[in-house]
């Protein structure tokens, strides 16, 4: 009888208790590898590039973020290559704040210039996809695309990622372009059904190889959550990684579809965040440039117009922040931007006072009523209307300075 009681007790202890944190994904890095997180204020993310060396003031600013990605071309004009520019910036940030988690940018399929590693692949036979009329610059008619069905290409890509992430100043890898590979239609017309199928067939293998190469203590953050790019909007694809970067939240084939796409995006964000995945949510402070084709579902790149005015900027910011707070869970991070280039940005290094206000933990998940969502935090109430693109955050008066 005593043995029976002991076994029952042990089984009960192993069962999840209501209110426990969600179980992290199998690939989630160890606790010390994850970025710092606090509900004290809105948790923030930074994603940036600058061709020249960052100034001391900029490094200090960057070091204030728990999670940071240095985009392609970082420091390449000063240091000649993206690798050396990124490492120089990362080491400078680490000297100010060793706890900032820094990710190195790599695109899964698009071949960008300014990388030292390019010297090897540009001599490799069959490294790039070839389209109609022997065309090789298939991405926006500007860049080549890797042929992932070539095992030498995959080995080169994973090997370079491993080499960069071996430096203690780099905490993990930012995977971009995943959606381009996973989207059944992307480049299919150019390269044909067979070659497109070959890319999809080896993608999972390459991502698995990357995890083995980087090890469990390096963060793998990928651009995979996106409405309309798969049947489940990326919720299966994210399982290969520790989390997802989010952009293009409002992309739609037509303007009328936007509110439904945003609703689906909210659902995917909420599900992934509750399942324990990291989320780096980014959104533009200005409107999409439709003239550049961003409402075309074949385009997965987000190009924004310049900021048009302080009043529009303020309303847009509150809407984006309300959208984020509707979805955020532990290890969700927020960035509203006007582009990733520090040289052109009008908001670079400018602190928004909304992000400095006390927030506190959420009192529960958001409640949906049609296209309106409400959620309450310890120090704020959030109302989000995605049909009219209006967000409202009511901060406790005692917390407003």
Tens digit of each residue's pLDDT (9 = 90 or more) over 222-256: 999 999 888 899 999 999 999 999 998 887 767 78
Give the N- to C-terminal CA distance of the chain in Å, as an integer.
Answer: 63
Identify whether 388 is part of a domain: no
With respect to residue 58, please indicate whether it lies within any of the assigned structural domains: yes
What's the pLDDT at 25? 46
- Structure tokens that stand for 13 in this block: 């202890």
Domains held by the chain: number: 1
Q: What's the rounded mean pLDDT across residues 51-58?
A: 98
Question: Residue 113 falls within a domain, yes or no?
Answer: yes
- Which pLDDT value is given to residue 253? 67
pLDDT band at 306 (very low <50, low <70, confident <90, very high): low
Please report the sign of the dihedral spanned by the C-alpha atoms of residue 340, residue 342, residue 345, residue 350. positive
Task: Report how far residue 365's alpha carbon sits from residue 6's, in angstroms, rounded to the nearest whole number.
Answer: 37
pLDDT per residue over 156-215, tens digit each? Answer: 999 999 999 999 999 999 999 999 999 999 999 999 999 999 999 999 999 999 999 999
Residue 227 belongs to domain spanning: 22-353
Indicate whether 397 belongs to any domain: no
Exposed e or buried b per residue across 90-129, where buried means at least 16 C-beta atoms within 10 angstroms of its C-beta: bebbbeebeebbbbbbbbbbbbbebbebbeebeeeeebbb
Query: Residue 111 has which token pair?
Result: 């071949």
For residue 144, the domain's CATH number is 3.20.20.70
More confident residue, 90 or 255: 90
Task: Put the strands of the sheet holding 380-385 in their side by side order.
Answer: 367-369, 372-376, 380-385, 390-395
d(CA 356, CA 43): 10
pLDDT of residue 6: 39
């Amino acid at each position: 009888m005593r043995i029976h009681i002991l076994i029952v007790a042990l089984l009960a202890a192993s069962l999840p208790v209501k209110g426990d944190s969600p179980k992290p994904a199998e690939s989630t890095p160890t606790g010390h590898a994850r970025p710092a997180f606090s509900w004290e204020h809105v948790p923030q993310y930074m994603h940036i590039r600058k061709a020249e060396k960052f100034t001391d003031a900029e490094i200090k600013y960057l070091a204030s973020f728990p999670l940071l990605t240095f985009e392609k071309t970082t420091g390449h004009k000063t240091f000649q290559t993206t690798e050396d520019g990124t490492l120089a910036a990362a080491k400078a940030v680490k000297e100010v704040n060793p706890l900032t988690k820094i990710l190195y940018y790599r695109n899964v399929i698009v071949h960008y210039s300014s990388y030292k590693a390019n010297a090897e692949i540009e001599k490799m036979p069959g490294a790039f996809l070839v389209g109609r009329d022997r065309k090789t610059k298939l991405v926006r008619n500007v860049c080549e695309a890797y042929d992932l069905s070539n095992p030498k290409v995959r080995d080169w890509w994973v090997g370079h990622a491993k080499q960069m992430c071996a430096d203690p100043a780099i905490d993990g890898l930012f995977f971009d372009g995943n959606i381009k590979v996973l989207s059944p239609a992307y480049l299919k017309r150019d390269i044909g059904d067979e070659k497109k199928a070959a890319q999809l067939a080896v993608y999972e293998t390459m991502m698995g190889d990357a995890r083995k190469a980087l090890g469990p203590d390096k963060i793998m953050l990928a651009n995979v959550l996106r409405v309309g790019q798969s049947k489940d909007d990326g919720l299966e694809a994210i399982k290969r990684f520790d989390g997802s970067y989010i952009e293009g939240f409002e992309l739609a084939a037509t303007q009328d579809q936007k509110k439904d796409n945003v609703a689906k995006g909210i659902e995917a964000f909420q599900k992934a965040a509750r399942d324990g995945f990291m989320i780096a949510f980014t959104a533009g402070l200005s409107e999409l440039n439709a003239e550049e084709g961003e409402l075309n579902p074949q385009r997965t790149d987000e190009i924004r117009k310049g900021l048009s005015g302080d009043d529009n900027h303020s309303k847009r910011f509150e809407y984006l922040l309300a959208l984020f707070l509707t979805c955020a869970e532990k290890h969700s991070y927020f960035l509203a931007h006007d582009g990733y280039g520090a040289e052109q940005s009008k908001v670079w290094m400018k602190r928004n006072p909304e992000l400095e206000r006390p927030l506190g933990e959420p009192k529960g998940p958001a409640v949906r009523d049609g296209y309106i969502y409400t959620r309450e935090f310890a120090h704020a109430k959030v109302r989000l209307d995605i049909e009219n693109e209006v967000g409202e955050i009511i901060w406790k008066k005692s917390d407003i300075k």
